[in-house]
Amino acid sequence: MAVSNNKSADKKVILVILDGIGDLPTTKTPLQLAKKPNLDSLARDGITGLMAPLGKGVVPGSDTSHLQYFGYDLEKYYPGRGVLEALGAGIRLRDGDVAFRANFATLNGTEIIDRRAGRIDSNSAKSFEEILNMTVDDVEVIFRSTVEHRGVVVLRGQGLSPLISDTDPHKLGKLIHSEPIGSSKESRKTANAVNKFTNKARELLENHPKNIERKGKHLPIANGVLLRGVSAYKKIDDVKTRFGITAACVAGGALYKGVARYVGMDVVDVVGATGTKDTDLNAKVKVVMECLKDHDLVFLHIKACDSFGHDGDLKGKTKMIERIDRLAIAPLKKSGAAIVITGDHSTPCVRKGHSGHEVPILVYCKNERNDDVKKFDEISCMKGGLGHVTGKDLMPILLNLIEKSKMCGS
Amino acid sequence: MAVSNNKSADKKVILVILDGIGDLPTTKTPLQLAKKPNLDSLARDGITGLMAPLGKGVVPGSDTSHLQYFGYDLEKYYPGRGVLEALGAGIRLRDGDVAFRANFATLNGTEIIDRRAGRIDSNSAKSFEEILNMTVDDVEVIFRSTVEHRGVVVLRGQGLSPLISDTDPHKLGKLIHSEPIGSSKESRKTANAVNKFTNKARELLENHPKNIERKGKHLPIANGVLLRGVSAYKKIDDVKTRFGITAACVAGGALYKGVARYVGMDVVDVVGATGTKDTDLNAKVKVVMECLKDHDLVFLHIKACDSFGHDGDLKGKTKMIERIDRLAIAPLKKSGAAIVITGDHSTPCVRKGHSGHEVPILVYCKNERNDDVKKFDEISCMKGGLGHVTGKDLMPILLNLIEKSKMCGS
């Protein structure tokens, strides 16, 4: 608890995003079922409400809700998935780069047999990385393998455009030839580079030693790369410029790191922060405490509740909440910082996917107003003193808590 | 109580803005601490809620929140500070006038030694007014001294532009040469006029008898004029045109009168309404009652709670609320008019400045809906039947109360 007596923690805020935390009551929601004395004590001593990340009833993706929470309106700032994935994978993008989410797939000719190449393991996938970094005409292709079959592709060069179609059909079927959207020279050039890369990748992968090894083991080979989520990168004003604050991100999942890097947060890699159900919460909290020393806002992302929701595992989600309460919330309470806890969307176990239901939010801060809500869950927080807020309200609320707002007017 | 039996008070509304009324509970808020039977009885008999003047968490200035309350969206109508200050000082602006907030300062050459000329008294400042009204080339310069070191400057002439930089560095340092923003002829002409005025003002002030007198008394002399908040005036549609109502303003502070004049309210000057802690509430209420006779909406502004908040004086703010309750709210209750009471923003004593926390609002009107909130304060009103509203909601709510709304659709 090095920071518990740290005066600098005053006027700082920890934003805890419990991914997919919101749920529906088959009987009760996981938040209602879980024993979570620390979350409940913060609710009791703070002020609560419900938040619709992108508006009532709207079903958010994870990238969009985070970007909106950080104060970046989607209409103006949402760059598309490829850019956020590439930033999350640690690629330093330059203005004009065109980025894609990539999948390793198993092809038979141009027929996709397995969209994930048998969910190839990360190490095997990594062994293909080198040969997929190449130059196509005058376009540099940067390939980065991330987790299992997942990766990113970035095209870098003069006169590129994101106005082209994906090669990934998003389902089984034929690999798609990328086509320009509209007739610009830039779109034609980019689609052409994508198609050349796709063909070259097939040739190079087909006889790669790792695939020959997999054939021998009767495993699906990774002989194709599917591209989707095309988007172009353009540097935007960071949180320091726009809001006058320093911010750090502590997350396991690459997408969250990508959004954080996009808005100029310091992204701290934590050993053991996996973005999975067995993530090392102790390690993450320790880094949050460190980051508090020299950042106004520390964003802590915990993924697992969302994964349990996608699996329809009510019990698992409930137990995960209890683990978070014990290992993350208890020590954070002692930090001396303001604490805001919410989710990026609901992932009801009964739906096994995202939903448009509001997420509970709690704001805990010295001298803050207090309501009489005593529990942190979807139903109790309906009566909270914050009322119903949206994702657009979150950054102004955070800035106001730590007295970093710029006055509007005089 | 001439109006208490006045039938014309029916379908009229008094909007009471208690400046900076919202607060934070170090233990309790001033509104919670104050004995205020009249405010509480209106809360009990009316409907309450919380209002975020410019949106949740956003920290409002006083000018912006008032303009928004009067139904004028800031993106479209906010003219900038200079215009509102000039209107508040009683200058009748014409389309194309360029207005500034001005400070008397003490200069050594172009070095600012004191940004407020030793907070020069209003009478002394007034004595400089005459020489500062001048013509620079073909531009008329109107100078008006207001309170202490404060004043306004208006440039009037053909082809002026507000796209120029301030001469006020907003801190100690060198007086700034005004520069055109962009390369338009109008900006160059305006910056040039500003710089000529600034130089001429220095020459004229340096040897003014009042300054020679001050030198003799070893007081800082007022030998410089700093300009900021540049903005251009353009007449806008008034409340009568836009909403079909007549409105009057009863306020002490110049800025509030300025906003009211900008939207076309009748501004009544009240002897004793000082905009300070010792303002004459009896006199203001008397004028409100008079104004009710021939106006649909009477806006009563009371500044002092904000000043106590800026001073961090919890006890003073609490006592002021009690004084307002006794001297203003009690007689207004008998007016027969609908009454809406709220603040323009929170000024928590613990922060000594504006904050982005919501303000309580109460709506009292014959036959209006009623909730079960019994006290007018930040915590009680969380449960109010109005819910959470924003400044954009206020004018439609007022119009609806007095049945002056235009139907949207058919």
Rounded Cα distance, B264 and B245, in Å:
10
The mean per-residue pLDDT over the stretch A302-306 comes to 95
Percent residues over pLDDT 90 in chain A: 91
Q: A74: how many CB neighbours lie within 10 A of its CB? A: 16
Whether residue B172 is predicted with pLDDT greater than 60 in this model: the reply is: yes
Q: What is the mean pLDDT of residues B355-383?
A: 96
CB contact under 8 A, B25 and A400: no
Alpha-carbon gap, residue A252 to B97, rounded angstroms: 57
- Residue B369 exposed, middle or buried by CB count within 10 Å (0-12, 13-18, 19+): exposed
Q: Which residues of B4-14 are buried (b: 16+ CB within 10 A; e: fewer)?
A: eebeebebbbb
Measure the CA–CA gap between A186 and A160, rounded to whole angstroms. 5
Q: Across residues B393-400, what is the average pLDDT? A: 98
The mean pLDDT value for A81-89 works out to: 95
pLDDT at B9: 66
* Mean per-residue pLDDT, A136-145: 97
The whole-angstrom distance between B159's CA and the closest CA on chain A is: 27
B20 CA: distance to closest CA in chain A (Å): 13
Given a cut of 90, whether residue A2 has pLDDT beyond it is: no
Three-state SS at B193: helix
Q: Please, are residues B367 and B45 in contact by the beta-carbon 8 Å criterion?
A: no
Q: What is the pLDDT of residues B195-224, one digit of tens each?
A: 999 999 999 999 999 999 999 999 999 999
**pLDDT value, residue A26:** 86
pLDDT of residue A6: 42
- Quick check: A247 and A266 in contact, CB under 8 A? yes
- pLDDT class of A3 with cuts at 50, 70, 90: very low
B8 pLDDT band, cuts 50/70/90, is low
Nearest CA in chain B to A398: B57
Q: Residues of A near B (CB-CB distance < 8 A)?
A: 367-371, 383, 385-389, 392-400, 403, 405-410
**Strand ranges inside B326-408, DSSP E:** 338-342, 359-364, 387-390
Asked if B26's CB is within 8 angstroms of A367's CB, the reply is: yes
- Check the CA dihedral B54-B252-B168-B235 and report its sign: positive
Give the tens place of pLDDT for each residue, A326-381.
999 999 999 999 999 999 999 999 999 999 999 999 999 988 999 999 999 999 99
Euclidean distance between CA atoms B302 and B59, whole angstroms: 19
Q: What does the pLDDT average to over B5-14?
A: 70
Mean pLDDT of chain B: 94
pLDDT average, residue stretch B360-372: 95
Residues A256 and A302 sit within 8 Å (Cβ to Cβ): no
The residues on B that touch A, with CB distances below 8 Å, are 24-26, 50, 54-65, 74, 78, 81, 229, 348, 350-351, 354-357, 378-379, 382-383, 387-388
pLDDT of residue B274: 81
Residue of B59, B83, B344 to mutate for A, most A C-beta atoms under 10 A: B59
Question: How do A150-156 and A98-108 pair as beta strands?
Answer: antiparallel
The chain B residue lying nearest A407, using CA atoms, is B59
* Secondary structure (3-state) at B389: strand
Helical ranges in A4-152 per DSSP H: 30-33, 37-45, 62-69, 74-77, 81-88, 122-126, 129-132
Of B25, B55, B63, the CB nearest to A393: B55
Contact A408 B382 (CB under 8 A): no
How high is the pLDDT of residue B83?
97
Spatial separation of the C-alpha atoms in residues B143 and B253, rounded to whole Å: 19
Q: pLDDT band at A9, cuts 50/70/90?
A: low
Partners of residue A338 in chain B, C-beta under 8 Å? none
Nearest to B229 among A394, A403, A410 (CB): A410
Shortest CA distance from A393: residue in chain B? B56
| pLDDT value of position B148 | 87
Which of A388, A393, A409 minimises the CB distance to B57? Answer: A393
DSSP output for B248-265? EEE-SSHHHHHHHHHTTP
For range B40-52, the mean pLDDT: 98
Asked whether residue B4 carries a pLDDT value surpassing 60, the answer given is no
* Confidence class for position A5, pLDDT limits 50, 70, 90: very low
Once rounded to an integer, what is the mean pLDDT over residues B8-34?
Answer: 93
pLDDT tens digits, B62-108: 899 999 999 999 999 999 999 999 999 999 999 999 999 999 999 99
Query: In the predicted model, is pLDDT for residue A225 greater than 60?
Result: yes
Which chain B residues touch A385 with a CB distance below 8 Å?
50, 379, 382
Find the closest chain B residue to A46 by CA distance: B25
Mean pLDDT of B370-397: 98
Q: Is the pLDDT of residue B272 over 90?
A: no
Q: Which of residues A195 and B274 earns the better pLDDT score?
A: A195
Q: What is the pLDDT of residues B109-148, one digit of tens each?
A: 999 999 999 989 989 999 999 999 999 999 999 999 988 8
Average pLDDT value for chain A: 95
Mean local confidence (pLDDT), A257-283: 92
Please give the pLDDT value at position B360.
Answer: 98
User: Does the pLDDT at position A294 exceed 90?
Assistant: yes
Residue A392: which residues within 8 A CB-CB, separation 6 or more? A68, A73, B55
